[in-house]
Chain A
Amino acid sequence: MLIVEQALNGLQFGLMLFLLAAGLTLVFGVMDMINLAHGSLYMVGAFVAAWLVALTGSFVLGIAGAVVLTAVFGMALEVVLLRTLYARDHLSQVLATFALILILNDGVKMIFGNDLPLSAPAALAGPVELLPGLVYPAYRLLILAVGLVLALLLWLLVQKTRMGALVRAGASNRTMATALGVDITRLFTFVFGIGAALCAVAGALLGPLLAVQVGMGENILILAFVVIVIGGIGSIRGALVGAILVGGIDTLGRTLLQHLFREFLPPQWASAAGPAVASVAVYVFMAVVLAVKPQGLFPARG
């Protein structure tokens, strides 16, 4: 039962990573832009959600409002600023979006303060018995459910709609897509908006578990990049598989490895070594994947 519970934890973490990675991989795949400020959109989503939940008293309204407002903000950012970066090389994009991280961090601090409280709705504050002997927090089940639903919706959007076909075409070969008359400008803004909306969902849902604070996007951004590298740039399917793998390795690594280390190390060392080796394990896995499949597991291009 411990393994099952830890597997659920890993899946939950992986699905939230997927929400961030999906937007990131689309932006990188379709627009060929490295957007370091993606984690900041996650932070903005969390702050707006916390602010709205406090204002309206409703968790659902808070998340919905955060998604809409962050998507609008993301699209505005794209139109005003990021559009100019598409033509430039990756290094300029890194520098510019890194500056954006710093600006957004201080901007959020000025508007909302350093941190905001955000609690899970009271109805979900307790546990649920899934199977006899398997008890799991209701709120995390909500996260799992939302993650799975969004993954499904995203798959439907990308595979079954015309807009999705355009996105896949743009990710596959941008020049050819433009040559075939796709309105690239509107497409890019749309992709960016979707990415921002997904970030906002992740930020709002993870807010009660982690803290809603300035700088919260930076740690998760690094893992999101690892995920899209493993999954393949531009591929939603790759982002999902990569995210679940990374989430699983991280969570199971933290716990199973600790059990292993505790066999022959004192508890303080085992507790430090477990998470450290788990985080290395994620990068080792990435290196192995790249050695075998340099374009990632499900490359979108070519």
Chain B
Amino acid sequence: MLHLRAPRTLVAPALLLAALALGAASAEAADKVKVGFVSTLSGPSSALGVDIRDGFLLAVKLNGGKLGNLPADVLVSDDQFKPDVAKQLFEKNIKRDKVDFMTGVVFSNIMLAALPEALDANTFYISPNAAPSSIAGKDCNPLFFAVSWPNDAYHEAAGQYANTRDLKSVYLVAPNYQAGKDSLAGFKRTFKGTVAGENYTKLGQLDYAAELAEIRAAKPQAVYIFLPGGMGINFIKQYVGAGLGKDTTLLLPGFSADQDVINPVGAAMAGLFNTAHWSPDFTNAANVKFMAEFQKEYKRVPTLYASQGYDAALLIDAAVRDTKGRLEDHEAVRKALKAARFDSVRGPFKFNTNQYPIQNYFVRTIGSDGKGGLVNKSFNEPILKNHGDAYVQNCAMK
């Protein structure tokens, strides 16, 4: 009788040797950079994810398909606006594809659900958008870098702008999820007048008839909303449809006033004020190049989301370049990411100790682009200068 199976005592050591061999193989210097890109690419808010993706891929393309000195493999997938789908995609990218960086998620609730997959596997997450207050403060993590802004920032800028406009009463609306709560907390932090009402709607809700009736009854001087993507498009259309635009000023964060909203809503957007960290008319060299290349490649004006995707790729590019491709040296990669030695399309860029940006925020207004369309134009002076966030003191990283 032949013993066709290996004797038990040999199997375990053999497996161990194989594992070690594989482990040793991957510990050599990487010959390419793998990036897992998970974002919302379908549904009413898909314009945001699509723009971040297009900005990111453009930067890689302009760099000759490389990040740093290594050829880049960007694995793009669609989270369909569902946290559980995003979690599975993160797991797939990290465990099966063995990516070096994860990035891409638009919405804070989806990102918070999927992020543990990256953190538990010691993989860097570079956020091109969602940057909740929890991770700026007590939950800060050396693997998490926000390239965009702290969630509260645009809203703090808007609150400050409302002060300069001498607005006494404002009605607030935001969706009931982490970023929504951050947004109105941010506005109230800087705003000095009274809050006429505060309404948290369901995330993804598209019919605002009931909320608009409430606003009309409350008679505020101004309305400030945080409703990104399709939510904002519908709200603004219905706001105009309800006749509220005439007596009540509508103040917006850049999220609800960029090209993805301007195009479907149209002429009703003209003259509206909004706040952002970036505007298409910035004159620094990096932005001039970005604007020209994006419009040439995709035949449309980029949104601030696209600028963030582009900057995220530039950040990863800088980190890979500065560590000379030795991605297995985690500390070195982290140091290089933190140093952020790249030319951002927004102008000056630096990270705070909690790895969230410190930067300027501007007021923008929507005006004619000279070709029959509408585009954002920024004021010269920032409304908030070298602004960090209110949570950094709770972060243990120094």
Asked whether A and B interact, the reply is: yes
Which residue of B is nearest A253, CB measured? B210
From A71-79, A113-121, A238-246, A287-295, give the one contacting chain B: A113-121
Q: Which of A36-44, A85-93, A165-173, A267-275 contacts B (4 or more CB under 8 A)?
A: A267-275
Contact of A127 among B44, B46, B199, B241 (CB under 8 A): B241
* Interface magnitude class on chain A: 35 or more
* Complex CA–CA separation, A258 to B200 (angstroms): 10
A271 in contact with B237 given A6-B210, A9-B209, A211-B44 (CB within 8 Å): no
- B295 nearest CB across to chain A (Å): 22
Chain A residues near B84: list those with CB within 8 A: none
Count the A-B residue pairs with Cβ separation under 8 angstroms: how many?
A: 88
Known: A271-B176, A272-B176, A272-B200. A137 touches B213 (CB 8 A): no
B206 at the interface (CB under 8 A from A): yes
| Nearest neighbor of B230 in chain A, beta-carbon distance | A211
B residues less than 8 Å from A13 (CB atoms): 207, 209
Cβ–Cβ contact A5 & B199, under 8 A = no
Separation of A124 and B240 alpha carbons in the complex (Å): 11
**Cα-based distance from A120 to B237 in the complex (angstroms):** 9
Are B42 and A209 closer than 8 Å at their CB atoms?
no
A2 touches B214 (CB 8 A): yes
Residue B243 CB within 8 A of the other chain: yes
- B191 CB, min distance to chain A CBs, angstroms: 15
Closest Cβ of chain A to B300, distance in Å, is 15
CB neighbours of B271 from chain A (8 A): none
B198 at the interface (CB under 8 A from A): yes
Contacts of A125 in B (CB 8 A): 237, 240-241
| Residues in A138-166 with C-beta less than 8 Å from chain B | 138-140
Among A124, A251, A267, which residue has the most Cβ atoms of chain B within 10 A? A267
Shortest CB distance A30–B (Å): 32
Q: Would you call B210 and A120 a contact (CB within 8 A)?
A: no
- Residue B285 interfacial (CB < 8 Å): no
**Residue B217 at the chain A interface, CB threshold 8 Å:** yes
B187 to chain A, nearest CB (A): 13
**Contact status A140-B216, CB under 8 Å:** no
Q: Which residue of B lies closest to A276 (CB)?
A: B202
Contact at A268–B181, with CB atoms within 8 Å? Answer: yes
**Chain A residues whose C-beta falls within 8 Å of the C-beta of B237 in the assembled complex:** 119-120, 125, 208
Most buried by B among A5, A6, A251: A5
Least Cβ–Cβ distance between A22 and chain B, in angstroms:
21
Q: How far is the CA of A268 from the CA of B240 in the complex (A)?
A: 26
Known: A2-B214, A9-B213, A251-B210. A138 touches B46 (CB 8 A): no
Contact of A126 with B199 in the complex, beta carbons under 8 Å? no
CB–CB B44/A135 < 8 A: no
Q: Is the CB of B46 within 8 A of A209?
A: no
Kindly list chain A residues whose C-beta atoms are within 8 Å of the C-beta of B201.
Answer: 271
A254 within 8 A of B: yes
Which residues from A are CB-within-8-Å of B241?
A: 120, 124-127, 137-140
CB distance from A297 to the nearest CB of B (A): 25
- B242 interface residue (CB < 8 Å to A): yes
State A114–B42 Cα separation when bound (angstroms): 7
Query: Could you say which residues of chain A place their CB within 8 Å of the CB of B242?
Result: 127, 135-137
Please, which residue of chain A has its CB at the minimum distance from the CB of B206? A210
Given A2-B213, A125-B237, are A213 and B181 also a contact pair (CB < 8 Å)?
no
Supposing A126-B241, A127-B242, A135-B243 touch, asked if A9 and B210 sit within 8 A by C-beta, the answer is yes
- Please tell me if the beta carbons of A267 and B206 are within 8 angstroms of each other in the complex: no
B199 touches which of A209, A211, A267 (Cβ 8 Å): A267
Q: How far is the CA of A251 from the CA of B210 in the complex (A)?
A: 7
- Pick the contact of A5 from B44, B216, B238, B264 — CB < 8 Å? B216
Which of these, A209, A267, A275, contacts B238 with CB under 8 Å?
A: A209
Query: Nearest chain A CB to B220's CB is how many angstroms away?
Result: 14
Q: CA–CA, A154 to B64, complex, Å?
A: 64
User: In A165-207, which residues have CB < 8 Å from any B CB?
Assistant: none
Interface residue? B234 (CB, 8 A) = yes
Assuming the contacts A213-B43, A213-B44, A255-B214, asked whether A126 and B243 have C-beta atoms less than 8 A apart, the reply is: yes
Interface residues of A in 8-23 (CB under 8 A from B): 9, 12-13
Closest chain-A Cβ to B20's Cβ sits at a distance in Å of 46
Closest to B211 in A: A255
Contact B43–A114 (Cβ < 8 Å) = yes
Are A117's CB and B213's CB within 8 A? no
Whether the Cβ atoms of B238 and A137 lie closer than 8 Å is yes
Instruction: Give A13 to B208 CA distance when docked, in angstroms.
Output: 12
Q: Please, which residue of chain B has its CB at the minimum distance from the CB of A256?
A: B210
Contact A115 B181 (CB under 8 A): no
Chain A residue at minimal CB-CB distance from B46: A114
Q: Which residues between 161 and 216 of chain B lie within 8 Å of chain A, taking CB atoms?
A: 176, 181, 198-202, 206-207, 209-210, 213-214, 216
Could you mark each residue 88-126 of chain A with 1 if its beta carbon is under 8 Å from any beta carbon of chain B, else 0? 000000000000000000000000001101011000111
Q: Closest CB of chain B to A252's CB: distance in Å? A: 9
- Chain B residues closer than 8 Å to A137, beta-carbon distance: 209, 238, 241-243
Q: How far is the CA of A50 from the CA of B202 in the complex (A)?
A: 25
Min CB distance B6 to A, Å, is 47
Minimum distance in angstroms from B138 CB to a CB of chain A: 19
A131 at the binding interface (Cβ < 8 Å):
no
Residues of B within 8 A of A138 (CB): 241
Q: Which residues of chain B are near A275, meaning CB under 8 Å?
A: 202
Give Cα distance in the complex from A254 to B216, angstroms.
16
Complexed CA–CA distance, A120 and B243 (Å) = 15
14 contacts between A and B (CB under 8 A): A1-B217, A9-B210, A12-B209, A120-B237, A125-B241, A126-B243, A135-B216, A137-B209, A140-B209, A140-B241, A209-B234, A211-B44, A211-B230, A255-B213
* B interface with A by C-beta (< 8 Å): 42-44, 46, 176, 181, 198-202, 206-207, 209-210, 213-214, 216-217, 230, 234, 237-238, 240-243, 264
Ranked nearest first, the 10 interchain pairs of A and B with the lowest CB-CB distance are A127-B243, A271-B200, A137-B241, A2-B217, A267-B198, A5-B213, A9-B209, A211-B44, A114-B42, A210-B206
9 additional contacts (CB under 8 A) given A124-B241, A210-B207: A2-B213, A5-B217, A115-B44, A120-B241, A137-B241, A137-B243, A211-B44, A255-B210, A268-B181
